[in-house]
Amino acid sequence: MITSHWTNSVTVARQAWPELKGAGGHGLTNLKKHLGLTFHHHDAGEDARASASVILKAEEALGKPLSHLTINRQLTFQFENPTRK
């Protein structure tokens, strides 16, 4: 059984910068411009780093840690062992 916790950086960005709704939105491309981030878009590692930067900047802008910004989602997966019958 694997349990995974995750948070959507767009949800956090919406809390931190509601003024971006209708003004380019909360996607990484617009957040890159708005927050002055530097990264190569559409590269998995770079996008992950940029998302982490968005979270850190949101924590700073709102004066709250991530745990107080959004509800973390939890997923649980159970994998069957193909060698067990």
Q: 3-state SS of the chain?
A: CEEEEECCHHHHHHHHCHHHCCCCCCCHHHHHHHHCCCCCCCCHHHHHHHHHHHHHHHHHHHCCCHHHCCCCEEEEECCCCCCCC
Q: Which residues are bridge partners to 76 per DSSP?
A: 3
Q: Is the pTM of this model over 0.85?
A: no
Residue-wise pLDDT tens digits, 43-78: 999 999 999 999 999 999 999 988 777 655 666 666
